[in-house]
Amino acid sequence: MPEFANSGESWMLTAPGTRSMTLRSLLEDGYLGANTLPVLKMKIVLMYLLGKGVWQFYDSGLMADEWTKDNVEFMFEQRLEEGEWTIGVFLNQPLIPAPSCPSPPQQSDAKKSSYTIFPKIRQLGIMLLEVVIGREIDNYKGADPSTRGKPGGLKDLWEARQLYEHWSGKNDWPNAELVVKAIGNCLDDHQFLPKSRDKNNPDFSVRSVLYEKVVRHLEGALTVNYAVSDPSHLSLAPLFKHRELAKRSPRGLAHKMERPSTWNHTASQRHQQASSSPTESPVSTASPIESHSDTWFSELDKLSELLRARPGERDTKYDQRKVKIAVIDTGVSEEKAGVAYKDFVDGEDSKIQQGSGHGTDIVELIDSCIEESSLYVARVFDGEGLANERTPDLVAEAIRWAQEMEVDIIVLALGFSHAHDGIRRAISDAVHRDILIFSAAGNYGSTMKVAFPARLPDVMCIFSTTPGNKPSREINPPARDMDANFAIIGEIVKILDDGSPPRRLQGTSIATAVAAGFAASLLDFSRQLVYRRKQREYGTPDLKSREAMRAVFRELSSGYKHEGYHCVLPWQLLNQIPKDGDREVRRQELCGLLNGWLR
């Protein structure tokens, strides 16, 4: 059995005052959620270091307790990159939780727990699994928050094994069998017992079995994928660069209107302050967290392609019922041809204005989710995107105009601190006409409650998530107790401008546009012949109703309820039908699934 040479190059002891991030923080912020090639490389290196570190220190006084995501940390390291000093987090530099007074070496941790034979090994397996899936086990399927930060117990172990069974059968990792074996052996720690308790053969120590059943496989994954057995020979990009915090500035937050702010690489300090004009420089390259956001939309595109009607899948009734969406905002770019436009500020309907550009961004995001729809844009904010005493009245007028246009969906990516009777009555009338209304929850974090009109019971109130499908803590208002708090991606969302570099936006306004666009694509699918036939068979209600759409959103957030928020993952639809095979069969399966949820 080889020894762990040069361990000091990879593992450091925690020093007082060291600025660092825990593994939990990296998981919560979605840094390990993507499975792009750079992130996969980081994950494999990190798993190797975790496994080899536990093996090295297993019987030493430096490992008195289990290592968990709450006590394994990563230091902010300063490195010179392209002539500029950068402070970043590098996954090949973890810090171990060492006690100030190491205890004497221990031969085994076998009697420390009644629910597992070797808790240190079991906890290693949980950490490895968390790195693999990019999320925390204790937030899996609504785990009890009272257990947060504790090493775990039967509940953690049961959830880990359930999730392991699911992942091991469905993953696209390169040479996955090596990682699968390592994690599976840790979670089934009873198999360490026969050899570790064989007192007649000193070679069969826990460490020797740990190396054979875990570390060897992780070392193999490193060797097979990257042709090295020592990660110090690999170059890794930082998980994120702290230097870019200073460059971040908002796109703007206008008076009472919830405006999206611009994102620049880092997931830390996400909540932005108010501004009235764009000041952000475009980002030229995508960081891992930005790639994760792009992957989110790539998965959505796969679902959208299946929902979208091809020429041979259309009929006359479908062609006559195009989904109509009203966006009540700052206006829209005149380049958006074919958009019906109504100016409630100046009354100049023939002169299309986009004001601050917020409305154009909302329209762009909706267009990215549904290929064919009829858009109706109402301008209710002035050129700077600012509200005044007239604005609530104009919003109410615009909602009534949208009703006259017989729209299916109204998008209110805006919010006010105080209620307004005119808006309330207009929304009530719209809901009675089976118009779906999506509204932004607000961007002020825990300092303010859900904005109006999002807090009305008839409205689909939308919160924001990270690309890792976790609630945006520094953006979202507190979750409400009385209803479903639907959240969808609203951070690091890419907007493409013609002739300009892409921008990254965030905010519940952005999440509202994504949610409305996705809902529109579902509504479009429900009007196609294949769905109408299945609907008649099941006798289910129209998907256009608020209750029906909420039922679908609840199903798509099943297993992803975090801190009171129901985090919607649209492509869960694809996970419940055959991945391959005939397109028509898959579409029929999709129809059956949706109608089954509505029965």
The model's pLDDT over 118-160, given as tens digits with 9 standing for 90+, comes to 889 999 999 999 998 888 877 654 444 444 444 445 567 778 8
**Can you give the pTM of this predicted structure?**
0.59
Domain boundary residue, one of 233, 260, 286:
233
Domain boundary among 233, 265, 292: 233
pLDDT of residue 373: 92
Same domain, 87 and 228: yes
Q: Is the pLDDT of residue 229 over 70?
A: no
Q: Is 358 a catalytic residue?
A: yes
For the CA atoms of the chain, what is the radius of gyration? 26
Pairing of strands 493-497, 500-506: antiparallel
Place of tokens 């941790």: 109
pLDDT at 11: 33
H-type alpha helices, 58-153: 119-133
What residues does 325 pair with on adjacent strands? 375, 409
pLDDT the model gives residue 150: 43
In a domain, 203, yes or no: yes
Domain membership of residue 548 (yes or no) is no
Which one is predicted more confidently, 263 or 489?
Answer: 489
For residue 483, the Cα-to-chain-centroid distance in whole angstroms is 21
Query: Is 118 inside any structural domain?
Result: yes
In one-letter notation, the amino acid at residue 333 is S
| Same-domain pairing of 339 and 463 | yes
- Looking at residue 354, its pLDDT comes to 81
Check whether residue 103 and residue 214 sit in a common domain. Answer: yes
Cα 163 to Cα 166: distance, rounded to the nearest angstrom: 5
Mean of pLDDT values over 163-175: 75
Q: Are 302 and 329 in contact (CB under 8 A)?
A: no
**Token digits for 480?**
């409400």
Out of 109, 329, 361, 367, the active site residue is 329
Do 340 and 226 fall into the same domain?
Answer: no
Q: Which residue has the higher pLDDT, 156 or 195?
A: 156
pLDDT reported for residue 230: 66
Tell me the CATH number at 326. Answer: 3.40.50.200
Catalytic, out of 261, 472, 509, 557: 509
Whether residues 375 and 503 fall in one domain = yes
Residue 409, strand partner residues: 325, 436
Please confirm, yes or no, whether 329 is among the known catalytic residues. Answer: yes
Q: How confident is the model at residue 97 (pLDDT cuts 50, 70, 90)?
A: low
- 203: tokens are 């070679």
Residue 26 has pLDDT above 70, yes or no: yes
- What are the tens digits of pLDDT across the range 387-414? 888 999 999 999 999 999 999 999 999 9
Sheet containing strand 486-489, strands side by side: 340-343, 374-379, 324-329, 409-412, 436-440, 460-465, 486-489, 565-567, 561-562
Q: Which of 27-41, 270-284, 532-546 has the lowest mean pLDDT?
A: 270-284
139 and 34 both lie in a single domain: yes
Confidence of residue 222 (pLDDT cuts 50, 70, 90): confident
Q: Tell me if 150 is assigned to some domain.
A: yes
Q: Write the pLDDT tens digit of every residue in 516-528.
A: 999 999 999 999 9
For residue 472, being part of any structural domain is answered with yes
User: Are 169 and 72 in the same domain?
Assistant: yes
Q: Residue 537: inside a domain, yes or no?
A: no
Residues in the chain: 599
Q: Which of 242, 358, 562, 566 is catalytic?
A: 358
Nearest to 32 by CA among 137, 171, 133, 125: 133
Residue 358: φ, ψ to 5°:
-60, -45
Asked if 239 and 89 count as a contact pair (C-beta separation under 8 A), the reply is yes
Q: Domain tally for the chain?
A: 2
User: Is the pLDDT higher at 567 or at 271?
Assistant: 567
pLDDT at 71 over 90: no
**314 or 444, which is more confident?**
314
Q: Are 413 and 512 in contact (CB under 8 A)?
A: yes
**Residues 205 and 338 placed together within one structural domain of the fold:** no
Please indicate, yes or no, whether residues 218 and 344 belong to a single structural domain of this protein.
no
**Is 114's pLDDT higher than 60?**
no
Is 108 among the domain residues? yes
Print burial letters for 80-95: b (CB count within 10 Å at least 16), e (below 16).
eeeeeebbbbbbbbbb
- Band of pLDDT at residue 59, cut at 50, 70 and 90: confident
281-285, 349-353, 431-435, 559-563: the lowest-pLDDT one? 281-285
Whole-number pLDDT of residue 191: 74
Same domain, yes or no: 327 and 206: no
* Burial class of residue 394 in the structure, from the number of CB atoms within 10 Å of its CB (0-12 exposed, 13-18 middle, 19+ buried): buried
Residue 503 predicted with pLDDT over 90:
no
- Sign of the CA dihedral running 492, 519, 525, 171: positive
CATH code at 172? Answer: 1.10.510
Indicate whether 83 pLDDT > 80: no
Shared domain check, 384 and 505: yes
pLDDT band at 241 (very low <50, low <70, confident <90, very high): low
Strand partners, 378: 328, 342
Q: Which of 309-318, 390-399, 424-433 has the lowest mean pLDDT?
A: 309-318
Q: Grade residue 19 by pLDDT with cuts at 50, 70 and 90.
A: low
Q: What angle do CA 477, 522, 528 make, to 5 degrees?
A: 165
104: preceding bond cis by omega (within 30 degrees):
no
Residues 6+ apart with CB under 8 A from 177: none
Q: How far apart are CA 155 and CA 138, in angstroms?
A: 9
Q: What residue numbers bound the domain in which 512 lies?
A: 321-526+555-567
Q: Over range 320-326, report the average pLDDT.
A: 94
**Average pLDDT over every residue of 507-511:** 94
- Greater pLDDT, 224 or 439: 439
Statement: residue 459 has pLDDT above 60: yes
Within a domain: 256? no
Task: Kindly state whether residues 492 and 347 are assigned to the same domain.
Answer: yes
Identify whether the C-beta of residue 545 lies closer than 8 Å to the C-beta of residue 434: yes
The pairing of beta strand 84-96 with beta strand 240-241: antiparallel
Confidence of residue 426 (pLDDT cuts 50, 70, 90): very high
Ranges of beta strands (E only) in 179-245 are 240-241
Which pLDDT does position 175 carry in this prediction?
Answer: 72
Greatest mean pLDDT among 11-20, 107-116, 394-403 = 394-403
pLDDT the model gives residue 3: 38
